[in-house]
């Protein structure tokens, strides 16, 4: 499809969305719960194209952003030990803890290595048998299978120095928590395409059966997102609530059973803390007892004196992640908190809401429609 054809299709979709929004007869508010969607929406300027009365709001779709300070404090404490090597994705280096960051610890001499997959930690462990190699396992359903596969491979190879500091989280439980929060008012969800590849659309069926809210799984191109908004607005205007799939080329109702099987072999669902949302039941993953030897918190628990007291800050990242406020409502946004010197994780990650607002806040209007 050529560029002009894309523009024309986008115009038609926006016209239809506008007509349906008017038909709904009330303001509509849809939430995307995927950081990649957040960036794609801002990059294309889609928010600015939508009609009055139809609002898009970002939710807790960035795994780095929802990771609480307490986890970062643990990671930094382990990193400071002389017999430890930390392996992690690069975006974790700048995430602030209560008093420091992994980047600062690295500058001070901690052995922190950037990897592109949890599986890279296997080789680091083999090459450093006298060190404890700890992978920072942060992510959603999308990355949990690879972390689980790393644990299985470590067990098969009898690596006695490979560990995980786990903070994987599950999307459907946090969505339930958002819906039950009286401050969070949404009329439907743009559902995360990457997560749905693993979970399938059935994992989100509770939206229609329990909550009477529409949801649409979609991809990451602007036209795909616009089509999902068309579907959501059509359902809202008709008073309907279904989970639909706009990403059928890669997402199936059953998802990826093999990936889920690997995850379920190693992990079990437990209550965990989310930044800005508190503790949510069955919303995180912990290694089962059969694999406790790879859980650094059980093998080598930290002492209270190794961890700093909680910090107090004017950062409103937690409220931003709930969709209660926008980044511009935070007094630190764009002044004390910028990508090069972030106060909160929402400004650190490339998928963070604050980072997207800072970089694309005015919109790029990629289709040249307005």
Mean pLDDT along residues 38-55 = 93
Q: Is the pLDDT of residue 368 over 80?
A: no
144 half-sphere exposure, CB direction, 13 A CA radius: 32
Q: 227-231, 250-254, 268-272, 347-351 — which is least confidently predicted?
A: 347-351
Write out pLDDT tens, residues 55-96.
999 999 999 999 999 999 999 999 999 999 999 999 899 888
Mean pLDDT along residues 184-188 = 95
Mean pLDDT along residues 295-303 = 97
pTM beyond 0.75: yes
Q: Write down how long the chain is.
A: 370
Write out pLDDT tens, residues 106-141.
999 999 999 999 999 999 999 999 999 999 999 999
Query: 169-196: string of b/e by CB count within 10 Å (b at 16+)?
Result: bbbbbbbbbbbeeeebebbbbbbbbbbb
**DSSP string for 185-224:** --SEEEE-HHHHHHH-GGGGTHHHHTS---EEE--SSHHH
Residue 252: predicted pLDDT: 97
Q: Report the percentage of the chain scoring pLDDT > 90.
A: 88
Distance CA 65, CA 354 (A): 10
Confidence band for 362, pLDDT divided at 50, 70 and 90: low
Q: Is the pLDDT of residue 366 over 80?
A: no
CATH architecture of 63-204+249-358: 3-Layer(aba) Sandwich (3.40)
Mean pLDDT along residues 220-236 = 97
Distance CA 278, CA 281 (A): 10
Mean pLDDT along residues 320-335 = 93
Averaged confidence pLDDT in the chain: 94
Q: Which two tokens stand for residue 231?
A: 């579907």
Residue 311: predicted pLDDT: 83
Residue 158: predicted pLDDT: 97
SS3 259: helix
Mean pLDDT along residues 236-243 = 97
Q: 52-66, 197-211, 228-242 — which is least confidently predicted?
A: 52-66
Domain residue ranges of the chain, discontinuous segments joined by +: 63-204+249-358
Beta bridge partners of 28: 54
Distance CA 216, CA 188 (A): 8
């Amino acid at each position: 499809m050529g560029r002009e054809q894309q523009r024309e299709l986008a115009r038609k979709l926006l016209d239809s969305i506008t007509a349906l929004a008017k038909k709904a007869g009330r303001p509509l508010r849809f939430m995307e719960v995927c950081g990649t969607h957040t960036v794609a929406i801002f990059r294309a300027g889609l928010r600015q194209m939508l009609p009055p009365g139809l609002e898009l709001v970002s939710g807790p779709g960035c795994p780095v952003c929802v990771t609480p300070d307490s986890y970062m404090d643990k990671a930094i404490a382990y990193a400071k030990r002389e017999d430890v090597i930390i392996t992690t994705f690069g975006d974790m280096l700048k995430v602030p803890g209560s008093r420091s960051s992994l980047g600062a610890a690295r500058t001070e001499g901690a052995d922190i290595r950037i990897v592109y997959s949890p599986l890279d930690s296997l080789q680091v462990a083999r090459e450093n048998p006298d060190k404890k190699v700890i992978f920072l396992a942060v992510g959603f359903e999308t990355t949990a299978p690879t972390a689980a596969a790393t644990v299985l491979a470590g067990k098969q190879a009898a690596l006695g120095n490979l560990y995980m500091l786990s903070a994987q989280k599950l999307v459907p439980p946090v969505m339930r928590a958002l819906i039950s929060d009286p401050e969070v008012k949404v009329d439907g969800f743009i559902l995360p395409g990457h997560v749905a590849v693993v979970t399938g659309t059935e994992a989100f069926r509770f939206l229609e059966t329990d909550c009477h809210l529409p949801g649409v799984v979609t991809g990451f191109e602007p036209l795909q997102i616009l089509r999902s908004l068309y579907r959501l607005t059509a359902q809202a205007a008709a008073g309907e609530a279904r989970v639909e799939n706009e990403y059928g080329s890669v997402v199936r109702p059953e998802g990826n059973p093999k990936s889920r099987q690997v995850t379920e072999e190693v992990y079990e669902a437990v209550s965990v803390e989310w930044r800005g949302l508190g503790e949510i039941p069955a919303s995180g993953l912990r290694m089962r007892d059969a694999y406790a030897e790879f859980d650094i918190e059980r093998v080598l628990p930290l002492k209270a004196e190794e961890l700093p007291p909680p910090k107090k800050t004017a950062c409103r990242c937690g409220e931003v992640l709930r969709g209660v406020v926008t980044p511009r409502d935070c007094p630190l946004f764009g002044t004390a908190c910028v990508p090069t010197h972030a106060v909160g994780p929402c400004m650190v990650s490339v998928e963070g809401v604050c980072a997207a607002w800072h970089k694309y806040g005015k919109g790029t209007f990629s289709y040249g429609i307005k």
